[in-house]
Amino acid sequence: MRRLRNVKIVATLGPASNDYTMIRALFEAGADVFRLNMSHGTHDDIRARHVIIRQVEQDTGRPIAILADLQGPKLRVGSFANPAGEELVEGAAFRMDLDATPGDISRVQLPHPEIFAALEPGSSLLVNDGKIRLRVETCGKDFANCTVTVGGAISNRKGVNVPDVLLPLAALSDKDRKDLEFACELGVDWLALSFVQRPEDVIEARDLAKGRAAILSKIEKPAAVKAYDAILAVSDGIMVARGDLGVELPVYSVPPIQKRLVRGARAAAKPVIVATQMLESMIESPMPTRAEVSDVATAIYEGADAIMLSAESAAGRYPIEAVATMNNVAISVESDPTYRQVIESSRTVNRSTVADAIVAAAREIAEAADIKAICCFSQSGTTVSLVARERPRVPILALTPLMGTARRMCLTWGAHCVITEEQDRFKGAVISAVRAARDYGFAEEKDQIVLTAGVPFNVQGTTNILRVAPCDERLIYKADPE
- CB half-sphere exposure, 115, CA atoms < 13 A: 24
- In DSSP terms, 148 is beta-bridged to 134
- CB half-sphere exposure, 451, CA atoms < 13 A: 25
Residue 473 and residue 449 in contact, taking contact as beta carbons nearer than 8 Å: no
- C-alpha distances (whole Å) from 97 to each of 32, 115, 140, 408 are 46, 10, 9, 45
What residues act catalytically?
Answer: 35, 76, 218, 276
Residue 261 and residue 227 in contact, taking contact as beta carbons nearer than 8 Å: no
Cis peptide before 256 (omega within 30 of 0): no
- Which residues fall within 8 angstroms of residue 279, CB to CB, at 6 or more apart? 288, 292, 296, 309, 312, 322, 325, 326
- In DSSP terms, 59 is beta-bridged to none
Residue 264 and residue 229 in contact, taking contact as beta carbons nearer than 8 Å: yes
- CA–CA distance, 339 with 258 (Å, rounded to integer): 18
Residue 358 and residue 466 in contact, taking contact as beta carbons nearer than 8 Å: yes
Residue 92 and residue 163 in contact, taking contact as beta carbons nearer than 8 Å: no
